[in-house]
Amino acid sequence: MAGRSGRHRPRLAGAAGLILILALAAPAAAQAGPTLVSWERSGGLLGLQDRVRILKDRTIFATAGEESGQARITRREKRRLTTRLEGWRQWKARYEPDVLVLDGITVSARARGHRVSVSTGADAPRRVDRVMGLLSRLHEKYLEAADGSAAAGPTLLRWRRSVASRQFPQRMRIDEDRTIAGLGDDAGREGRLTRAQMETLRARLRGWRRYDARYAPEERRPDQATVTVRHKGHAVAVTEEAAVPPRLARALRLIARLRAEHLVA
């Protein structure tokens, strides 16, 4: 009997160790909570890597490159999202265009064990587009909250200038209260637009949603800068030497002058 018990001791010790590991891991798993939906946007001129994970307890984790934020969506936002996810499993796993779009963006969302992805130029169902659009807005909203944009008041626009050959982009925001502030490496620099400057800027931003998401030259170089401006949930990216509408060009020049005057000078 003693020999038989001895043979079982290592096995029992191993089982006890496994139970202990599972017990220690359980609180962490419970803390993370079940996921309601996860979302990702990748590709494009800037090599986007945007992600969102929303838990059933309304916790949201939002990331964009090295930026990240954590908060809680409102109950109304969760109800809206849950409603739009009804019937999610009926949609195809992939929606792709007939012709590949150069520098296209792919967005995907996973909910209820089913992932759906949509690439630029694809003809996706309107209900799928509405889910992707809502998740994109939640990503922008709660990522802004992480860098203090939300605390300063509603944001009029966010601006970013990046060069493929450089690691860190230049970023700033302009708020509805006329505050202009640097973000990221430029955080801490802040100014205030005059009323005349704000009125001119608003006039230049009219019709923003009609612009294309990307303007790029036929041939690109690693040292070319790309400026991205997001206003009213619509991001427009323009690479140097690209042909753009005159109104858009004037808006970009004005934003650059405002940055130079209030944050660089």
Whether pLDDT at 145 is above 70: no
Mean pLDDT of the chain: 81
Whether pLDDT at 1 is above 60: no
- pLDDT category, 147, cuts 50, 70, 90? low
Q: Which of 220, 252, 226 is nearest to 239 (CA)?
A: 226
Q: At what angle do helices 126-146 and 75-84 cross, to 10 degrees?
A: 150
| Range 79-105 average pLDDT | 90
Whether pLDDT at 190 is above 60: yes
Q: What percentage of the chain has pLDDT greater than the value 70? A: 78
Q: What is the largest CA-CA distance in the chain?
A: 94
| Range 183-211 average pLDDT | 88
* Three-state SS at 155: strand
Q: Which of 115, 98, 114, 95 is nearest to 106 (CA)?
A: 95
Whether pLDDT at 198 is above 70: yes
Across the beta sheet with 190-192, what order do the strands follow? 190-192, 179-183, 170-175, 155-163, 225-231, 234-239, 214-215
Tell me the pLDDT tens digit for each residue of 154-174: 889 999 888 765 556 788 999
- pLDDT category, 23, cuts 50, 70, 90? very low
| Range 139-146 average pLDDT | 71
Whether pLDDT at 109 is above 70: yes
Whether pLDDT at 18 is above 50: no
Tell me the pLDDT tens digit for each residue of 29-68: 334 579 999 999 887 655 678 899 999 999 999 887 767 7
Tell me the pLDDT tens digit for each residue of 207-265: 998 998 889 888 877 788 889 998 887 888 899 999 999 999 999 999 999 999 999 86
Per-residue model confidence (pLDDT) at position 205: 95
- pLDDT category, 114, cuts 50, 70, 90? very high
The model's pTM is 0.54
User: Who contacts 92 (Cβ-Cβ below 8 Å, separation ≥6)?
Assistant: 116
DSSP 8-state symbol, 100 = P
238, containing H or E segment: strand 234-239
